Amino acid sequence: MRQRLFSTYCDNVDPLCKIIHRPTVQSQIDSIHTSAEASRDEAGIHATLFAIYGAAIISLPDDKYSQLMDEPKDGVLRRFRFATEYFLSKADYMESRRREPLQAFSIYLVRYKIHDT
């Protein structure tokens, strides 16, 4: 599922808002195991991935979403939003000098701007 959400993000969101380097994020998706015990450095990567997944879900029309997921869209979006916010906090995104927390926060902002309009 992670790969399908990333592909959806690349097709629907990335062309409109270039924030990530696709090959780098693709390798991170392939290698990372999500855990609440992530280190501060890993937390930025987790935040980026959950922000991407949330943006991908928001970009899907309801009929396509239903083909991808078996649970209500609002619940999935809440979980991804909570995970993004949790890992942003854990990465100390306001003080971090790393790329990943900034990417995650940028996608997070764009995602909710798109969703709210």
Distance (Å, rounded) from C-alpha 93 to C-alpha 39?
Answer: 13
Q: 45: domain range?
A: 2-116
Tokens (6 digits) for 76 = 């999935």
Q: How many domains does the chain have?
A: 1
Q: What is the pTM of this model?
A: 0.88
Any idea which residue has 């928001």 for tokens? 58
* Higher local confidence (pLDDT), 111 or 81: 81
How far is it, in rounded angstroms, from Cα 79 to Cα 82?
Answer: 5
- Give the burial string for 51-80 (b: 16+ CB within 10 Å, else e): bbbbbbbbbbeeeebeeebeeeeeebbeeb
Region 71-93: mean pLDDT is: 94
Please determine, for residue 34, whether its predicted confidence score (pLDDT) is greater than 70: no
